[in-house]
Structure 1
């Protein structure tokens, strides 16, 4: 059970990161559950920071 939960959270973080790199809005988060939504938004914020720091163009 823990493996499935961790995989889901990692997947949400990864999808949020990709969304942030592609310039999507944080309002486009597809998740409603708070734990998964937090992971998605965390990935989104990480991507925005990486993009602003010049890591990606």
Structure 2
């Protein structure tokens, strides 16, 4: 069975989270549209918070899966 494409806002959030968890700069956001950019920034902020809380590596990946399951 073919999976439906994920929501673009969800994908932007996840990509931002991945950048944040690995300590990358917010300036690397590839989006220009306001809504998508905001979703990416929100994900980046969550990722940075988790990075500062020590959720690096596998713990961060599990946290990202939690976001995906909730959404």
From the two aligned structures, give the one with the greater helix fraction: 1
Greater Rg over alpha carbons, structure: 2
- 2:50 alignment counterpart: 50
**Length, aligned pairs only:** 54
Q: Which has the higher contact order (CA 8 A, sep 6+)?
A: 1
Q: When the two structures are superposed, what TM-score results if normalisation uses the length of structure 1?
A: 0.83
Q: List gaps (5 residues or longer) in structure 1.
A: none
Q: List gaps (5 residues or longer) in structure 2.
A: 58-71
Q: When the two structures are superposed, what TM-score results if normalisation uses the length of structure 2?
A: 0.68
Give the superposed CA RMSD. Answer: 1.9
